[in-house]
Structure 1
């Protein structure tokens, strides 16, 4: 019997790890001058020196980028999780045809959207002063030069983009919020360590898996990526052998798994991300699904695609920890 935790909103059809851009413009130097004909020199100024209007930084692809000191119109598509954690609101948010990252909408509600692939015309229309882009592929084919003509563009690069901790600290550096980023990370590590101890006490030696149902097909999370990294690395939960096996041969955050293989899934608890709720979730009526041990034992916890389980970042990871404590520790 499935325990439903959240109401399912509109289905998002694609999860994209897309480009984010950093732009900055403007520069200026300020100096204090004094002149006079008095015999005695003027009193020394006690006013602090003005901060530079921009900072030169080298991005993940080797570009030297002049980052504004206080950017006000940031586009960081698919990196909004990091901005939200730092208390920064972008000028537009990532979107696909059927929606946005709904788990962030407490902070981004009513914010204008921009297509996930960042068309040049759409980017230009928001008049950004900073673009932050995540992956190398998002600026291939001359796109970097085109974006850089619109606004200063900072690319994290794949090595940083694929590790949310590194991405958080780098974005904090770019936005001149390094201290805030470190605090967000420290708070998460403490929260995860506390949750790990509670889970070890509540379900010692038990295993957990996350499964995604979308368009009638099942996928299982990697044991090292996305929410799998939260389950097995951050919280130290036991990964089922089937998850290890599929992860070893798969390359994605989520890898396809047949119903026949699901029936062998040796997980004591299942997190089910159900993207088929609105269309009836017919696959959940299949006898093979009902034969999965965790399903038979009633240890399935269901979440909609609008939840954080398909994403990554400090906000998403923190929400997943909260979900597990509520589901399993209670």
Structure 2
């Protein structure tokens, strides 16, 4: 009898010990995730080097202002709190997404900035064009001044904005998709144009601006899509970003391009001037009916992901089908 009691006690002790071990093991190896604290999946603030030194970007900024660089914001799925404008002039190619967004004047008057109550401001590295100083804007909201290379290179801008907005994966996907678009378009145009050349002319009022090989969308046309340059474009060399001089109709007579992309608002005087000019009508593109008119010059006169995508679509619609 005593042996049975001792055995039962020993057995109970062993079972109890095993239960403790099992419970402990289950507690340590539970594969089900713990409930996430509120906000764990939200962005966290990040400190970045900028043109004005290190800047801490707030987490989950919602009211973002990046005047003239709304292209990058929209590409990443972010609608700005205000859009860049000069008077009534805006970046028309973005208006489908920004038509209901209020404007802010190009020189960023401090009172206007304040009225939009931003919680993040993104500016260019050159502050001279703004009414306020960096410190003025930084007092209104955390302000990031892009480095020169970020302002100049829209791909760099997409990557930088991706970091700022906590959308790095989306930024890389955008860039990858764009390269695929370029590659496909390049193949289509090689087949459609072969060795034929093309040029871009912007008619503003009654003045004409011939795009050098790296001027705005011409860089997409020549460097990315591989379209051949006519001799006159080669002679112009690279553009001086600080200056842009009109070209005379007489000089345009030297333009031996097989195709011309003519950028002009509907009813622009320059279109009629060219149609009435025997000099212009004698150029290869005009004689062969290969002057392709686009009434929205805005994406052609900007650099950005969306601008470049729209330019590619324009070129394909004109000569790539």
* 2:34 corresponds to: 46
Cα distance, 1:140 vs structure 2: 7.3
- The 3 A distance-change label for structure 1 pair 131 and 138 is farther
- The 3 A distance-change label for structure 1 pair 225 and 172 is farther
* 1:18 corresponds to: none
1:70 pairs with 2:55: no
- State the Cα deviation string for residues 156-187 of structure 1 (Å, max 9, x = none): 12222111111111111111111111111111
Alignment counterpart, residue 73 of structure 2, candidates 79, 83, 101: 83
- The 3 A distance-change label for structure 1 pair 312 and 251 is closer
Alignment counterpart, residue 317 of structure 1, candidates 304, 308, 317: 308
1:301 pairs with 2:289: no
- The 3 A distance-change label for structure 1 pair 269 and 121 is same
Cα distance, 1:259 vs structure 2: 1.4
* 1:188 corresponds to: 178
* 2:255 corresponds to: 265
- State the Cα deviation string for residues 277-311 of structure 1 (Å, max 9, x = none): 25574422222222222112110111124541111
Instruction: Using structure 2 for the length normalisation, give the TM-score.
Output: 0.83
Cα distance, 1:210 vs structure 2: 0.6
1:328 pairs with 2:316: no
User: What CA distance in whole angstroms lies between the structure 2 residues aligned with 1:100 and 1:140?
Assistant: 17
- The 3 A distance-change label for structure 1 pair 116 and 64 is same
Structure 1 gap segments, 5+ residues each: 1-39
Instruction: Using structure 1 for the length normalisation, give the TM-score.
Output: 0.81
SS in 2 for 1:132: strand
How many residue pairs get aligned? The number is 288
Alignment counterpart, residue 117 of structure 2, candidates 127, 148, 155: 127
CA contact (8 A) 2:204 2:270 kept: no
SS in 1 for 2:149: helix
Structure 2 gap segments, 5+ residues each: 1-23
User: Segments of 4+ in structure 1 off by > 3 A?
Assistant: 47-53, 137-142, 247-255, 278-282
Cα distance, 1:222 vs structure 2: 2.2
* 1:55 corresponds to: 46
Alignment counterpart, residue 222 of structure 2, candidates 211, 221, 232: 232
User: What CA distance in whole angstroms lies between the structure 1 residues aligned with 2:82 and 2:132?
Assistant: 23
Cα distance, 1:101 vs structure 2: 1.2
Higher mean C-alpha deviation, range 142-151 or range 317-326: 142-151
User: What CA distance in whole angstroms lies between the structure 2 residues aligned with 1:232 and 1:278?
Assistant: 26
**What is the alpha-carbon root mean square deviation over aligned residues?**
2.4
- State the Cα deviation string for residues 4-35 of structure 1 (Å, max 9, x = none): xxxxxxxxxxxxxxxxxxxxxxxxxxxxxxxx
* 2:164 corresponds to: 174
- The 3 A distance-change label for structure 1 pair 306 and 218 is closer
Cα distance, 1:248 vs structure 2: 4.0
Larger helix proportion, structure 1 or 2?
A: 2
Alignment counterpart, residue 217 of structure 1, candidates 182, 201, 207: 207
CA contact (8 A) 1:216 1:276 kept: no
User: What CA distance in whole angstroms lies between the structure 2 residues aligned with 1:166 and 1:224?
Assistant: 17
1:157 pairs with 2:118: no
- The 3 A distance-change label for structure 1 pair 249 and 193 is closer
- State the Cα deviation string for residues 80-112 of structure 1 (Å, max 9, x = none): 111111110000111112321111112112111
CA contact (8 A) 1:226 1:253 kept: no
SS in 2 for 1:311: coil
